[in-house]
Amino acid sequence: MAMFIRVDVDNSVIEKTSGLAQKLVEVCPVKIFKPGSAPNTVEVVEENVDECTLCDLCMQATEGVKVVKLYE
């Protein structure tokens, strides 16, 4: 379980943009996202969440992802 970071995913937003889910999986430098079971969705890889470098690439790509610092 992540201690420092929480990543909230709203797949109802992500699936509206074609290819976005795949892009999220590809760009995250610490592999926080993996393809979801439904098309054009992602799941969070919980064991990698605390590795988040807070690069914000995911949040810049979509409003369907929120990265929350649990220490603030």
Partner 1 sequence: MRFYEFEAKQLLAKSRIPLVQSEVANTAEEAEKIASTIGGPVILKAQAIAPGLAAASTREVSDPGAAKAAATELLGIDDGGRKPRGILVEARPTGEAVYSLSFTYDGTAKRPVVAAANMAGKIDDLADEHPDRIVRRHFSALFPFSDYIAKELAKSLSLGGNDLKRMTRIVSGLARLFLKYDLADLDITSIVKLGDGNFVVLDVEADLEIEARHRQRPMLDELGFSKDDLRQVREPTEFELEGARIDAEDPRGIISPIAEFDGNIGLVIGAGGGSLTLTDAVRKHGGRPANYAAIGGNPSVDKARRLTKLVLTKPGVDKIAVMSNVVSNTRADLVARGVIKGITELGFEPADKILIFRVPGAWEADAAKILEKYGVEYCDRTVSISEAARRAVEKVG
Residues in contact with partner 1 by CB under 8 A are 3-4, 30, 50-51, 53-54, 69, 71-72
What DSSP assignment string belongs to 8-46? EE-HHHHTTSTTHHHHHHHH-TT--EEE-SSTT-EEE-G
Q: How far is the CB of 68 from partner 1 (least distance, A)?
A: 13
**Residue 53 carries which side chain, given as an amino acid letter?**
T
15/50 with CB nearer partner 1: 50
20/52 with CB nearer partner 1: 52
- Selection from 66, 63, 69, 64 nearest residue 50 by Cα: 69
5/14 with CB nearer partner 1: 5
